[in-house]
Amino acid sequence: MFTIGDFARHGRVSVRMLRHYDALGLLRPAHVDPVNGYRFYEAAQLARLNRVLALKDLGFTLQQVQEILDETVGPEQLRGMLRLRQAELEAAMAAAAARLIRVETRLRSIESEGHMSPDEVVIKRTPPVRVAELSATADSFAPEAIGPVVGPLFDELCRRLDRASVTPAGPSIAYYEAAPGSGEAVLVHAAIPVTATPGGPHGLTVVDLPAIENAATIVHRGSMDAVLPTAQTLAHWIDANGYRSAGYARELYLACDDDPDQWVTELQEPFTRR
């Protein structure tokens, strides 16, 4: 047998924690000296301690841990609890990863302040284009609100084009507008150029996207999660040259393969004179 101190050392936990688990009935000592009250543990009890700590790290309460280990929770219920917790942890990890990307993007914007190159911006007229599109509303124009909306829209649009045997006629376009009467909400449009006729038997929403007569354009290379420095370079250029933004920038996806770090996207922001 081991003293409580030795057992804590072998289990890589504190003596205080073992006393707490004893008080809860979660991990009782194998023997308690009736004279001095000293607790003693067996090496076999390390297995239960390991399970307690693993379940605790998964986010279960100590009450839930005790029910699981004492088998008051059936196998199917336990499997459901574990799957739910797995999904929660995966969602938390994804959210943390997205938050890190946003922080890195903001840092890049800060680092690039004062280093804007006017040669990066080109003024042009974008031609009108016929597109098949799907639309949905995002809560705001923040990356964490736009990303989960625009990606699934393009996925679904591609599936519908394939089912309708309609071949894309150019690179994909995302464009945005304020959602009517919805505060900061943004109407997100995922569009792909087509030669199909509006209202045809294909069952697609086909519209004619108008030209932008005066567009300040800049090319962004890499994932759209990191577009902020490029977009803000465009904003600085518009302001420095005495122009005024006339709406959300369109995103023309010139190269968009499986690796987002290799994407090439042209931002096209309409502008007017002040």
pLDDT higher than threshold 60 for residue 258 = yes
d(CA 250, CA 221): 15
pTM of this prediction exceeds 0.85: no
Lowest mean per-residue pLDDT among 5-19, 20-34, 53-67, 183-197: 53-67
Provide mean pLDDT across the span 36-49: 91
The more confidently predicted of residues 101 and 36 is 36
Kindly state the average pLDDT of the residues 126-152. Answer: 92
Interatomic CA distance for residues 32 and 38, integer angstroms: 6
**Rounded Cα gap, residues 211 and 45, in angstroms:** 73
Distance (Å) of CA 252 to CA 109, 178, 205, 264: 22, 19, 19, 9
Q: 141 — alpha (psi -120 to 50), left (phi > 0) or beta? A: alpha
Lowest model confidence (mean pLDDT) among 63-77, 102-116, 230-244: 102-116
Q: What's the pLDDT at 87?
A: 86
Q: Indicate the pLDDT class of residue 115, thresholds 50, 70 and 90.
A: low
